[in-house]
Amino acid sequence: MPRYRNLEPTADFWSWRDAAACIGHEDLFYSLEDEVKGERRKKEDEAKEVCAVCPVFDTCRTFALETKELYGVWGGLTEAERHRIAGRHRTG
């Protein structure tokens, strides 16, 4: 059973993020809808570089996959990569 099934957005629930390498770099991890694809890809690549050295990489990736996170780069996976893993197709 997924450990994030019953989400409770409390400080304890999110405490794993306190050690995340992305803190302070949030602008790399989310893109605007009207952002040019080339710029989006560049930001995703830079975000993945931050993820690669993150001490909570595995926890972050597991969280994103188990909660079906729709947006941003989480655990080194882009939105499109998570959608493919989950067998979903993203439109737009």
Q: What kind and span of H or E run contains 56?
A: none
Give the chain's radius of gyration (CA, Å). Answer: 13
**51 annotated as belonging to a binding site for a ligand:** yes
**Which residues have CB under 8 Å from 1's CB, separation 6+?**
none
Q: Is there a binding annotation on residue 60?
A: yes
Contact 52, 78 (CB under 8 A): no
Tokens found for residue 21: 């390498």
Task: Give the residue numbers of the binding site for [4Fe-4S] cluster.
Answer: 22, 51, 54, 60
Task: Give the residue numbers of the binding site.
Answer: 22, 51, 54, 60
